[in-house]
Structure 1
Amino acid sequence: MPPKKKKGKKKKKKKDGDELTIEDKYKQTLDEIEALKDHLTVRKELTRRSKVTSEEWKERMLDAENDLEVEKQDYQSVSADMTRQYKTMQTEMGLRIHQLETDLEKTSKTLEKTEADLKKTREEKDKIERLKNDEIKELQMKIDAMGMQYETVLNDHLDKLIEKIGGARAKWEDHSTMIQTKHKHILLDYGLNPQDI
């Protein structure tokens, strides 16, 4: 009889030891999951920062558009002022045309210069407008590219996280199957049928 009791005690000790090992592994798996959650939190912070950067680029784009609008308004003011001066000159010339025959050529040259300046101003305005539009397009492309890059990075990390969890689960299932098989053999060694228990 005493040897049978010893066998029973040994069986209990092995079973308790195995339960502690399984518990430890379960806690370890929970710790790994917490670490992965922390990693995911870091990735979320990176995504938040990318959104902030994107908003900053949008603000820059709005500033560029505002600058362009100011340039347009300045151009309109210059254009209106030049038009007013031109009309004033025409009125004065109409009143004094018979007295200022000699000055007419000079005034015509001044007018040509003014028109050349106006044309030059328009060309400069068109050039500035093209540059601003190109800059806006470039900024928009950069914003779009950054958004796609951050989305790709986030998706890659989520895929890796899923892969790690799947690997841990497979290891856990393999280990669980091994423990069950081991217990089954121990029970059979003691002459017990696992299905009867």
Structure 2
Amino acid sequence: MAPKKKTKKTSKKNPEKSNFAGENVLEEKYRRSVLDVAVLQDHIALQSESVRKVQSDRIDLRRRMRDMEQKLQHERENHRDVNSDFSRQYKTMKTELTDKVKRLEQEVSQLREDLALCQEELSKEKREREKVQQEKDGIIADLQHKLDGMETEYEKVLHETLDGLTAQLHAARRGREEKSAGLHRNYKEVLSEFGLNALDT
């Protein structure tokens, strides 16, 4: 601002100086314009670089988005395949389990029937065994009674036999004693005939 005022003052006094000052102002304006143009060009270059960077980033983002979409599509396909495989396995396992449950139910039913038959047979055998045991107990009691009777009879016969043998032994002993006494008398008589004393011998 100060130089412009000076140029006004000088223009009144000296027209040559005024022309020179005007040229200086124009030159200054030109330099400033050149600088402004350079700054604008730098700014435009920066903006262009930013635009190129943004476009590059946009292209990169689009490419990444396509990759992600492809990956997502692949994942969806894999997910469908896995779901399909799981569904197939589930149906297979369900069918197998259903068949197994039916088979086990049939086996359980058969086993229950077999158990009922076994219990019935066991009860029947138990009753027969109790009947046989009662018959055996009756036979044993009868035999024991007969055995007791036979034992009593044997004891009676044994006592009678022993009593008879005792009597016979007594009779035999008396007979031997009498015979011995007779022989002793005869011996004494024979000794006395020979003049011997039986006590001396």
| TM-score over 0.5 for the pair | no
Larger Rg: 2
TM superposition score category, shorter chain reference: 0.3 to 0.5
Relative contact order, higher structure (CA 8 A, sep 6+): 1
Question: What TM-score do the two structures reach when normalised by structure 1?
Answer: 0.38
TM-score, normalised to structure 2, is: 0.37
